[in-house]
Amino acid sequence: MALAGRHSLRDAFLLHRWNFRETSLLLDIFTRDFGVVRLIAKGAMRSKGGRSGLLQPFLPLSLLWTARGEPAVLTSIESRGKGYGLSGKTLFCGFYLNELLLRLLPPHDPHPGIFSLYEQSLVRLESGECLDVALRFFELALLEELGYGLLLDHDAASGEAISPERHYDYHVEQGPVESLAGGQAIRGSVLLGLRDGRLACADDLKQSKQLMRRVIHHHLGGRPLKSRELFKYVNTSQFK
């Protein structure tokens, strides 16, 4: 879908904002219809209320812009409802979701399924659900939507079905291959739990976190995530 021209109000979330010149803001926006787009909000810093007050993360928005060049110019903004009440650990998890979208999604590439997934994940974070569970299944579904889905049901070398009792080395470009326990080997029960949407215990969550971290690190080309570095200053084990 072309970004150029003037558009009707579009569902969106703010992923990141920073000051631009003296009074304006540059915005990275995630939209249902256009994916990630960059906008400029001219004069947004002149007033603490109005548009600037609405340009906050985790607040459902409807936006209108005019695109005659790069970046497009924000012309109208409305709230679609109350913001998601994230704080403490859940706030850092929300920033992590935002950074994944910015780093993995190509600009102007619409993914309405990921947009819905993002909204559902914010609901799960706000509800107080286990954060590790919410993050793992966001990561898994995001990679699947982008064509990087994990092989979770059979051994990539032998073709045999994954056994819950056996251990596997997971090769990102290939899939799981049976191995001995130890090192980075992951139990078959964890692979099947990811496939089926269930992670039964703390050790399953730990192994699934280690696996998803390696996979995402690979698809980011080895570049670290700033949100994880920021999280190190919080007294929590969520990203350890």
pLDDT digits (tens, 9 = 90+) for 54-85: 899 999 999 999 887 778 999 999 999 899 99
53's CB contacts (< 8 A; 6+ apart) are none
- Residue 75 inside a domain? The answer is yes
- Residue 239 inside a domain? The answer is no
- Residue 237 inside a domain? The answer is no
Pair 24, 97 in one domain: no
Task: Select from 31, 2, 7 the least CA-distant residue to 116.
Answer: 31
Q: Would you state the pLDDT for residue 50?
A: 57
Residue 106: what are its φ and ψ, rounded to 5°?
A: -65, 150
Domain count, the chain: 2
Question: pLDDT at residue 197 above 90?
Answer: no
- Alpha-carbon distance of 200 to 94, in angstroms, equals 23
**CA angle 35-126-82, nearest 5°?**
70
Percent of the chain with pLDDT over 90: 67
| Domain final residue pick, 79, 113, 143 | 79
pLDDT bin (cut points 50, 70, 90) of residue 109 is very high
The boundaries of the domain holding residue 138 are 89-231
Give the β-pairing of 35-41 and 72-79.
parallel
Q: What is the pLDDT of residues 146-195, one digit of tens each?
A: 999 999 999 999 999 999 999 999 999 999 999 998 888 999 999 999 99
Pair 107, 66 in one domain: no
Across the beta sheet with 186-187, the strand order is 175-179, 167-171, 186-187
Pair 30, 68 in one domain: yes
Q: Would you state the pLDDT for residue 7?
A: 54
- Alpha-carbon distance of 240 to 228, in angstroms, equals 9
Pair 128, 206 in one domain: yes
- Residue 209 inside a domain? The answer is yes
- pTM here? 0.88
Question: pLDDT at residue 237 above 70?
Answer: no
